[in-house]
Amino acid sequence: MTGTVRLERQGAVGILRLDRPPVNALNREMHGDLLAAAQEARDDPAVRSVLLWGGERAFAAGADIREMADLEPDVVVEFGAGLTRSIEAVAALPVPVVAGISGYALGGGCELALAADLRIAAADARIGLPEITLGVIPGAGGTQRLARLVGTARAKELIFTGRPVTGSEAAAIGLVTRAVPADSVYAEAFALAERLAAGPTAALAAAKEVVDRGVELDLASGLALEGRRFAELFGTADQKAGMASFLRDGPGRATFTGR
Protein backbone atom coordinates (compact mmCIF):
# COMPACT_ATOMS: atom_id res chain seq x y z
CA MET A 1 0.00 0.00 0.00
CA THR A 2 1.27 3.48 -0.88
CA GLY A 3 0.31 6.91 0.39
CA THR A 4 1.41 9.36 3.05
CA VAL A 5 -0.38 7.30 5.69
CA ARG A 6 -0.94 3.60 5.40
CA LEU A 7 -2.29 0.79 7.52
CA GLU A 8 0.15 -2.07 8.04
CA ARG A 9 -0.75 -5.17 10.05
CA GLN A 10 1.48 -7.13 12.36
CA GLY A 11 -0.56 -9.82 14.03
CA ALA A 12 -3.58 -8.15 15.64
CA VAL A 13 -1.87 -4.74 15.75
CA GLY A 14 -2.72 -2.27 13.02
CA ILE A 15 0.14 0.17 12.44
CA LEU A 16 -0.89 3.58 11.12
CA ARG A 17 2.39 4.59 9.51
CA LEU A 18 2.91 8.28 8.78
CA ASP A 19 5.23 8.53 5.77
CA ARG A 20 5.71 11.98 4.31
CA PRO A 21 9.44 12.77 4.48
CA PRO A 22 11.27 14.52 5.85
CA VAL A 23 9.17 15.27 8.97
CA ASN A 24 5.59 14.16 8.19
CA ALA A 25 4.21 17.69 7.79
CA LEU A 26 0.43 17.31 7.71
CA ASN A 27 -0.86 18.61 4.37
CA ARG A 28 -4.24 18.07 2.70
CA GLU A 29 -3.15 14.81 1.09
CA MET A 30 -2.07 13.50 4.48
CA HIS A 31 -5.41 14.48 6.04
CA GLY A 32 -7.23 12.32 3.52
CA ASP A 33 -4.81 9.42 3.78
CA LEU A 34 -5.00 9.44 7.58
CA LEU A 35 -8.79 9.43 7.50
CA ALA A 36 -8.86 6.55 5.01
CA ALA A 37 -6.31 4.51 6.97
CA ALA A 38 -8.19 5.06 10.25
CA GLN A 39 -11.44 3.97 8.62
CA GLU A 40 -9.71 0.89 7.22
CA ALA A 41 -8.48 0.00 10.71
CA ARG A 42 -11.95 0.57 12.16
CA ASP A 43 -13.54 -1.76 9.61
CA ASP A 44 -11.04 -4.61 9.99
CA PRO A 45 -12.14 -7.01 12.75
CA ALA A 46 -8.65 -8.51 12.84
CA VAL A 47 -7.23 -5.19 14.11
CA ARG A 48 -7.52 -5.28 17.90
CA SER A 49 -5.22 -2.34 18.69
CA VAL A 50 -3.55 0.43 16.71
CA LEU A 51 -0.04 1.86 16.84
CA LEU A 52 0.57 5.37 15.48
CA TRP A 53 4.14 5.64 14.22
CA GLY A 54 5.93 8.33 12.24
CA GLY A 55 9.44 6.94 12.24
CA GLU A 56 12.57 7.70 14.22
CA ARG A 57 13.17 11.24 12.91
CA ALA A 58 9.73 12.70 13.55
CA PHE A 59 6.30 11.59 14.63
CA ALA A 60 4.84 14.62 12.84
CA ALA A 61 6.37 18.09 12.98
CA GLY A 62 3.06 19.89 12.48
CA ALA A 63 0.82 21.18 9.74
CA ASP A 64 2.35 22.12 6.40
CA ILE A 65 2.88 25.87 6.95
CA ARG A 66 3.86 26.47 3.31
CA GLU A 67 0.43 25.18 2.31
CA MET A 68 -1.37 27.24 4.98
CA ALA A 69 0.47 30.56 5.09
CA ASP A 70 -1.54 32.47 2.48
CA LEU A 71 -4.94 30.88 3.00
CA GLU A 72 -7.93 33.11 3.68
CA PRO A 73 -10.18 32.40 6.68
CA ASP A 74 -12.95 30.77 4.64
CA VAL A 75 -10.45 28.37 3.06
CA VAL A 76 -8.74 27.67 6.39
CA VAL A 77 -12.08 26.50 7.74
CA GLU A 78 -12.08 23.58 5.33
CA PHE A 79 -8.35 22.92 5.76
CA GLY A 80 -8.79 22.73 9.52
CA ALA A 81 -11.92 20.64 9.19
CA GLY A 82 -10.02 18.08 7.10
CA LEU A 83 -7.30 17.71 9.72
CA THR A 84 -9.85 17.58 12.53
CA ARG A 85 -11.88 14.88 10.76
CA SER A 86 -8.82 12.69 10.34
CA ILE A 87 -7.71 13.13 13.96
CA GLU A 88 -11.24 12.51 15.22
CA ALA A 89 -11.34 9.28 13.20
CA VAL A 90 -8.25 8.10 15.07
CA ALA A 91 -9.66 9.17 18.44
CA ALA A 92 -12.95 7.38 17.71
CA LEU A 93 -11.40 4.02 16.91
CA PRO A 94 -13.07 1.44 19.19
CA VAL A 95 -9.75 -0.27 19.94
CA PRO A 96 -6.85 1.01 22.07
CA VAL A 97 -4.58 3.42 20.20
CA VAL A 98 -0.91 3.83 21.20
CA ALA A 99 1.27 6.62 19.80
CA GLY A 100 5.03 6.04 19.55
CA ILE A 101 6.66 9.47 19.55
CA SER A 102 10.22 10.01 18.34
CA GLY A 103 11.77 13.30 17.28
CA TYR A 104 9.11 15.96 16.92
CA ALA A 105 5.38 15.96 17.68
CA LEU A 106 4.46 19.61 17.24
CA GLY A 107 1.30 21.47 16.34
CA GLY A 108 -0.96 19.16 14.36
CA GLY A 109 1.43 16.29 15.11
CA CYS A 110 0.98 16.86 18.82
CA GLU A 111 -2.80 17.05 18.31
CA LEU A 112 -2.71 13.68 16.55
CA ALA A 113 -0.67 12.17 19.38
CA LEU A 114 -3.16 13.58 21.90
CA ALA A 115 -5.92 11.66 20.12
CA ALA A 116 -4.25 8.37 21.05
CA ASP A 117 -5.24 6.62 24.26
CA LEU A 118 -1.64 6.10 25.38
CA ARG A 119 1.64 7.71 24.34
CA ILE A 120 5.19 6.33 24.57
CA ALA A 121 7.76 9.05 23.88
CA ALA A 122 11.50 9.24 23.47
CA ALA A 123 13.01 10.99 26.47
CA ASP A 124 14.52 13.56 24.09
CA ALA A 125 11.42 14.00 21.91
CA ARG A 126 10.06 17.52 21.45
CA ILE A 127 6.33 17.76 22.01
CA GLY A 128 4.22 20.89 21.97
CA LEU A 129 1.72 23.29 20.48
CA PRO A 130 3.73 26.22 19.06
CA GLU A 131 0.85 27.78 17.11
CA ILE A 132 0.89 30.96 19.21
CA THR A 133 4.35 31.74 17.79
CA LEU A 134 2.69 31.86 14.36
CA GLY A 135 -0.04 34.21 15.51
CA VAL A 136 -2.75 31.54 15.74
CA ILE A 137 -3.96 28.86 18.17
CA PRO A 138 -4.21 25.07 17.94
CA GLY A 139 -7.19 24.24 15.75
CA ALA A 140 -7.51 20.44 15.63
CA GLY A 141 -8.24 19.56 19.23
CA GLY A 142 -5.09 20.73 20.98
CA THR A 143 -6.68 23.23 23.35
CA GLN A 144 -9.30 20.71 24.43
CA ARG A 145 -7.37 17.45 24.71
CA LEU A 146 -4.29 18.98 26.30
CA ALA A 147 -6.33 20.67 29.04
CA ARG A 148 -8.10 17.40 29.80
CA LEU A 149 -4.77 15.61 30.11
CA VAL A 150 -2.67 18.05 32.10
CA GLY A 151 -5.16 20.53 33.55
CA THR A 152 -6.11 24.00 32.41
CA ALA A 153 -3.28 25.91 34.12
CA ARG A 154 -0.53 23.75 32.62
CA ALA A 155 -2.26 23.69 29.23
CA LYS A 156 -2.50 27.48 29.18
CA GLU A 157 1.18 27.84 30.01
CA LEU A 158 2.20 25.54 27.17
CA ILE A 159 -0.26 27.00 24.67
CA PHE A 160 0.31 30.67 25.60
CA THR A 161 4.10 30.36 25.34
CA GLY A 162 4.29 27.74 22.57
CA ARG A 163 7.03 26.07 24.59
CA PRO A 164 7.75 22.46 23.60
CA VAL A 165 8.55 19.93 26.31
CA THR A 166 10.85 16.95 26.15
CA GLY A 167 9.48 13.46 26.40
CA SER A 168 10.80 13.27 29.95
CA GLU A 169 8.96 16.44 31.01
CA ALA A 170 5.86 15.28 29.14
CA ALA A 171 5.85 12.09 31.21
CA ALA A 172 6.29 14.07 34.43
CA ILE A 173 3.23 16.23 33.73
CA GLY A 174 1.04 13.41 32.40
CA LEU A 175 1.13 14.43 28.74
CA VAL A 176 2.60 11.05 27.77
CA THR A 177 2.30 7.67 29.45
CA ARG A 178 6.04 7.20 29.81
CA ALA A 179 9.37 8.30 28.36
CA VAL A 180 11.96 5.77 27.18
CA PRO A 181 15.34 5.89 25.42
CA ALA A 182 15.02 7.05 21.82
CA ASP A 183 16.20 3.75 20.37
CA SER A 184 13.50 1.76 22.15
CA VAL A 185 10.39 3.84 21.40
CA TYR A 186 9.04 1.63 18.64
CA ALA A 187 9.69 -1.61 20.52
CA GLU A 188 8.09 -0.30 23.71
CA ALA A 189 5.08 1.18 21.91
CA PHE A 190 4.54 -1.94 19.81
CA ALA A 191 4.84 -4.20 22.86
CA LEU A 192 2.15 -2.19 24.61
CA ALA A 193 -0.11 -2.25 21.54
CA GLU A 194 0.47 -6.01 21.18
CA ARG A 195 -0.40 -6.60 24.84
CA LEU A 196 -3.65 -4.64 24.44
CA ALA A 197 -4.47 -6.49 21.21
CA ALA A 198 -4.41 -9.74 23.20
CA GLY A 199 -6.94 -8.38 25.68
CA PRO A 200 -10.74 -8.71 25.76
CA THR A 201 -11.74 -6.58 22.76
CA ALA A 202 -15.31 -5.74 23.81
CA ALA A 203 -14.26 -4.90 27.37
CA LEU A 204 -11.48 -2.61 26.14
CA ALA A 205 -13.89 -0.87 23.77
CA ALA A 206 -16.37 -0.42 26.60
CA ALA A 207 -13.70 0.92 28.94
CA LYS A 208 -12.56 3.41 26.30
CA GLU A 209 -16.10 4.59 25.63
CA VAL A 210 -17.00 4.95 29.30
CA VAL A 211 -13.86 6.93 30.14
CA ASP A 212 -14.04 9.17 27.05
CA ARG A 213 -17.77 9.87 27.32
CA GLY A 214 -17.89 9.85 31.09
CA VAL A 215 -15.65 12.90 31.52
CA GLU A 216 -18.23 14.90 29.54
CA LEU A 217 -21.17 13.72 31.67
CA ASP A 218 -22.33 14.46 35.18
CA LEU A 219 -21.36 11.78 37.70
CA ALA A 220 -24.78 10.11 37.84
CA SER A 221 -24.95 9.79 34.03
CA GLY A 222 -21.39 8.49 33.87
CA LEU A 223 -22.11 5.87 36.52
CA ALA A 224 -25.25 4.80 34.66
CA LEU A 225 -23.29 4.41 31.42
CA GLU A 226 -20.64 2.39 33.22
CA GLY A 227 -23.27 0.12 34.73
CA ARG A 228 -24.89 -0.57 31.37
CA ARG A 229 -21.63 -1.41 29.64
CA PHE A 230 -20.53 -3.59 32.57
CA ALA A 231 -23.71 -5.67 32.37
CA GLU A 232 -23.55 -5.99 28.58
CA LEU A 233 -20.12 -7.60 28.77
CA PHE A 234 -21.61 -10.63 30.48
CA GLY A 235 -22.85 -11.69 27.06
CA THR A 236 -19.33 -12.04 25.62
CA ALA A 237 -17.15 -15.10 25.22
CA ASP A 238 -14.22 -13.20 26.71
CA GLN A 239 -16.14 -12.61 29.95
CA LYS A 240 -16.88 -16.31 30.23
CA ALA A 241 -13.27 -17.22 29.49
CA GLY A 242 -11.87 -14.60 31.84
CA MET A 243 -13.94 -15.60 34.82
CA ALA A 244 -13.55 -19.34 34.19
CA SER A 245 -9.78 -18.85 33.99
CA PHE A 246 -9.79 -16.87 37.24
CA LEU A 247 -11.65 -19.61 39.07
CA ARG A 248 -9.47 -22.34 37.61
CA ASP A 249 -5.99 -20.76 37.46
CA GLY A 250 -6.10 -17.48 39.36
CA PRO A 251 -5.90 -13.89 38.04
CA GLY A 252 -4.20 -12.75 34.87
CA ARG A 253 -3.99 -16.06 33.03
CA ALA A 254 -6.94 -15.89 30.66
CA THR A 255 -6.57 -16.16 26.89
CA PHE A 256 -9.02 -13.92 25.09
CA THR A 257 -10.37 -14.40 21.57
CA GLY A 258 -11.85 -10.95 21.07
CA ARG A 259 -15.43 -12.24 21.02
As annotated, the active-site residues are: 111, 131
Listed in sequence order, the DSSP H helices in 92-184 are 108-114, 142-150, 152-161, 167-172
Rounded Cα distance, 152 and 32, in Å = 31
CA distance 176 to 167: 7
Q: Sort residue 41 into left (φ over 0), alpha (ψ -120 to 50) or beta.
A: alpha
Determine how many CB atoms are found less than 10 A away from the CB of residue 43.
8
Report how many helices (DSSP H) and strands (DSSP E) the chain contains, helices first: 11, 9
